[in-house]
Amino acid sequence: MSDTIFGKISRGEIPADIVYQDEAVVAFRDLNPQAPTHVLVIPRKPIPTLNALEAEDAELVGKLFLAARKIAEQEGIAAAGYRTVINCNAAAGQTVFHLHLHLLGGRPMGWPPG
């Protein structure tokens, strides 16, 4: 399976501003934040895109969202509201091919997204 910069972050091989981690997921601040809070939540397992999810990953996907919920509370954005986004492949603008959930908050969000 191909390695990515996020794989290296999850293994501690390159630095990141980590805000949460457990046995299944790692969460760190985006290098180019699009909101006052912009955290990326990734599984330690290197799944390239949503298209590659298998039935056996169902619990892991739940853990991504449970981590996002925890981090939103930690960041003080849970009550006001926040957005979670997973980009899949080129048309959605995915640039790093290790599954990641964007957690964005701290400002009002427009809809539809760009």
Stretch of residues binding ligand 5GP (CB under 6 A), selected from 28-36, 47-55, 73-81, 103-111: 28-36
Q: Is-catalytic flag, 98? A: no
- Closest approach, Cβ 63 to ligand 5GP, in A, equals 19
Interface mask toward ligand 5GP for 78-97; x: CB under 6 A: ---------x-----xxxx-
Alpha helices by DSSP H, listed for 1-43, are 5-10
Judged by CB under 6 A, which of 31, 52, 58, 80 binds ligand 5GP?
31
Q: Which residues contact 112 (CB under 8 A, 6 or more apart)?
A: none
Tokens of 86: 């997973």
Number of Cβ atoms within 10 Å of the Cβ of 40? 20
Q: Do you know the residue count of the chain?
A: 114
Binding site for ligand 5GP (CB under 6 A): 5, 16, 28-32, 40, 87, 93-96
